């Protein structure tokens, strides 16, 4: 059987390590990421040794400011795991989804594991319509509790199903004007970048992210891209990186409005 790597990614304290321990049992390899004192843990999926689970450091974003962000980003972009299990703290869904959108932009197929189901039920603030969330994002969503060991089999089944039949998933679609700028940048880099990573690099170039400086662009390509960014900044009257941040927040707001049912809304609708 072909070996494949599944990365565990999510915000700090979303439950990655708890889930990692459940998925891998005692079959763990622990070391450090090269050059930094950030712990690196990998292991093989219980009963499925062909699937390697890689625990990634917890981060809130894929910009390249902290060692955790750099490690996570380099792993997803350069090592290209076959899948991501994105662990989310379901009691903090908005902030956690912000990171999910960035993970979806990498082009790596993703499964959302909505963790802390037990806490969500206990808090009774809101519930999440996971079917709708899965439909809107077009990615598999599984509600779990790593602490209470709930629905872990269901998650494992989904992971295995995806490795048997590798999938790619459409990325979130943002504001039309931003989308047209991104597709013009994609045209400029088409050919130097693999298809599944075109969107990632287009967004990073649009944000003027320094970590994509290694791309060997011609002077003409760079000028074209600069013009595209300038035009968008005038159109939005905003910095290009803020344009992207706002687009992600708008997207999440729409998703939340459709998928999160406040308990108070629910009781009101019942009366
Ligand atoms: P990481 O930072 O993403 O690796 O998160 P950890 O696995 O270290 O978990 C952070 C904290 O959340 C720990 O205290 C865990 O026991 C707790 N935790 C993890 N999963 C769950 C869960 O499903 N429900 C509840 N209530 N707590 C959880
Ligand atoms: K922790
Ligand atoms: Mg951890």
- Per-residue pLDDT of 166-181, as tens digits, reads 777 778 999 999 999 9
Nearest ligand atom owner, CA of 90:
1
Kindly state whether residues 71 and 143 are assigned to the same domain: yes
Q: What's the pLDDT tens digit per position in 247-270?
A: 999 999 999 999 999 887 655 555
- Which residue, by CA, sits nearest to atom 19 of ligand 1? 15
Please report the pLDDT score of residue 39 as a whole number. 85
Q: Which helix (H) or strand (E) holds 176?
A: helix 176-189
Please report the pLDDT score of residue 269 as a whole number. 54
Kindly state whether residues 62 and 190 are assigned to the same domain: no
b/e per residue 98-136 (b: at least 16 CB within 10 A): bbbbbbbbbbbbbbbbbbbbbebeeeeebbbebeebbeb
193 forms bridges with which residues in the sheet? 190
Instruction: Domain of residue 110: give its range.
Output: 4-164
Kindly state whether residues 231 and 201 are assigned to the same domain: yes
- Rounded mean pLDDT of 99-106? 96
Kindly state whether residues 78 and 131 are assigned to the same domain: yes
Please report the pLDDT score of residue 176 as a whole number. 96
Q: Three-class SS of residue 146?
A: coil
Residues 6 or more apart whose Cβ sits within 8 Å of residue 99: 9, 10, 11, 59, 60, 61, 62, 86
Q: What's the pLDDT tens digit per position in 104-129?
A: 999 999 999 999 999 999 998 899 99
Please report the pLDDT score of residue 267 as a whole number. 57
Q: How far is 126 from 120, CA to CA, in rounded Å?
A: 7
φ and ψ of 239, to 5 deg: -70, 150
* Ligand 1 pocket mutation, candidates 53, 56, 146, criterion most atoms within 8 A of CB: 146
Tokens 């843990």 locate to: 41
- Which residue, by CA, sits nearest to atom 9 of ligand 1? 15
Parallel/antiparallel/unpaired status of strands 110-115 and 83-89: parallel
Judged against a pLDDT cut of 90, whether residue 246 lies above it is answered with: yes
Ligand 1 atom nearest to 117, measured from its CA = 23
Q: How far out from the chain centre does Cα 90 lie? A: 15
Q: How far out from the chain centre does Cα 197 lie? A: 14
Asked, for residue 251, whether it belongs to a domain, the answer is: no
Please report the pLDDT score of residue 266 as a whole number. 58
Sign of torsion over alpha carbons 240, 245, 248, 249: negative
Question: If you measure from the C-alpha of residue 215 to the centroid of ligand 2, how many angstroms do you get, rounded to a whole number?
Answer: 35
Q: Are 233 and 240 in contact (CB under 8 A)?
A: yes
Does the C-beta of 17 come closer than 6 Å to ligand 1? yes
* Ligand 1 pocket mutation, candidates 8, 13, 91, 118, criterion most atoms within 8 A of CB: 13
* Among candidate residues 73, 75, 108, 96, the one with its CA nearest the CA of residue 10: 96
Asked, for residue 209, whether it belongs to a domain, the answer is: yes
Asked which of 140, 164, 188 is the last residue of a domain, the reply is: 164
Number of domains the chain contains: 2
CATH number at residue 205: 1.10.287.1770
Please report the pLDDT score of residue 157 as a whole number. 95
Kindly state whether residues 233 and 158 are assigned to the same domain: no
Asked which of 135, 164, 193 is the last residue of a domain, the reply is: 164
Q: What's the pLDDT tens digit per position in 40-76?
A: 899 999 989 999 999 999 999 998 789 999 999 999 9
Structure tokens at 56: 């990634």
Kindly state whether residues 80 and 45 are assigned to the same domain: yes
Residues 6 or more apart whose Cβ sits within 8 Å of residue 77: 106, 197, 200
Does the C-beta of 119 come closer than 6 Å to ligand 1? yes
């Amino acid at each position: 059987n072909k070996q494949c790597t599944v990365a565990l990614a999510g915000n700090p304290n979303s439950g990655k390590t708890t889930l990692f321990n459940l998925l891998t049992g005692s079959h763990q390899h622990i070391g450090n990421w090269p050059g930094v004192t950030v712990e690196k843990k990998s292991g093989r999926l219980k009963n499925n040794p062909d699937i390697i689970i890689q625990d990634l450091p917890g981060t809130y974003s894929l910009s390249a400011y902290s060692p955790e962000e750099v490690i996570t980003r380099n792993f997803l972009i350069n090592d290209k795991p076959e899948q991501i299990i994105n662990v989310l703290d379901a009691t903090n869904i908005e902030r956690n989804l912000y990171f999910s959108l960035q993970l979806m932009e990498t082009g790596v197929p993703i499964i959302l594991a909505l963790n802390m189901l037990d806490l969500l039920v206990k808090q009774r603030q809101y519930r999440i319509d996971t079917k709708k969330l899965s439909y809107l994002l077009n990615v598999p969503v599984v509600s779990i509790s790593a602490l209470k060991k709930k629905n872990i089999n269901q998650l494992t089944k989904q992971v295995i199903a995806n490795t048997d039949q590798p999938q790619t998933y459409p990325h979130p679609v943002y504001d039309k004007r931003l989308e047209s700028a991104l597709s013009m940048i994609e045209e400029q880099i088409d050919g130097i970048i693999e298809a599944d990573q075109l969107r990632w690099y287009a967004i990073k170039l649009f944000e003027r992210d320094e970590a994509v400086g290694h791309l060997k662009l011609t002077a003409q390509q760079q000028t074209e891209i600069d013009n595209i960014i300038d035009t968008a900044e005038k159109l939005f009257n905003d910095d290009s990186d803020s344009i992207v941040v706002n687009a992600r927040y708008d997207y999440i707001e729409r998703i939340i409005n459709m998928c999160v049912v406040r308990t108070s809304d629910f009781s009101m609708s019942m009366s």
